[in-house]
Structure 1
Amino acid sequence: MNLSLGVKVLLVVICALVSIIIGIVAALVIHKPSSPKGPSFLYGGGVFGGSLTLCLVVLTSLGVL
């Protein structure tokens, strides 16, 4: 695919926003009211990094990026 630079940037931004939402949901699911918030932030950050990497690898393998 021959996409313009603007479309590629838009796809990367969409991947980042979707990954942020996934990370927030994962942090909310892992957090317990009696525990500190630090470990849930770290877990959400890890999930964000993993989902962003997965999304970009899939787009690269499809030939979009």
Structure 2
Amino acid sequence: MNLPFVIKLLFVVICALASMIVGIGAGWLSHRPGARKRDAVLIGGGTFGGTLTLCILVLTSLGVL
């Protein structure tokens, strides 16, 4: 596909926002009462990075990016 740069940027922003939602959810689900908050932040950050990488790889393999 030969998409304009603005459309490609829009896809990357959508992937980042979806990954952010997944990361927040993972951090929220991993937090336990009385536990350190930084553990939940690390889990959420790792999940965000993994999800964003997966989204970008899928878009690249489909030829969108």
Separation in 2, partners of 1:31, 1:55: 25
| Alignment match, 1:30 | 30
Superposition deviation, residue 34 in structure 1: 1.3
| Alignment match, 1:58 | 58
Give the counterpart letter for 1:3 in structure 2. Answer: L
Unaligned 5+ runs, structure 2: none
Q: Which runs of 4+ in 1 moved over 2 A?
A: none
- Percent identity reads 58
Separation in 2, partners of 1:41, 1:20: 12
Number of matched residues? 65
Separation in 2, partners of 1:33, 1:9: 39
Superposition deviation, residue 52 in structure 1: 0.1
Deviation digits for residues 4-61 of structure 1 (CA, Å, limit 9, x no counterpart): 0000000000000000000000000000011010000000000000000000000000
Separation in 1, partners of 2:25, 2:40: 10
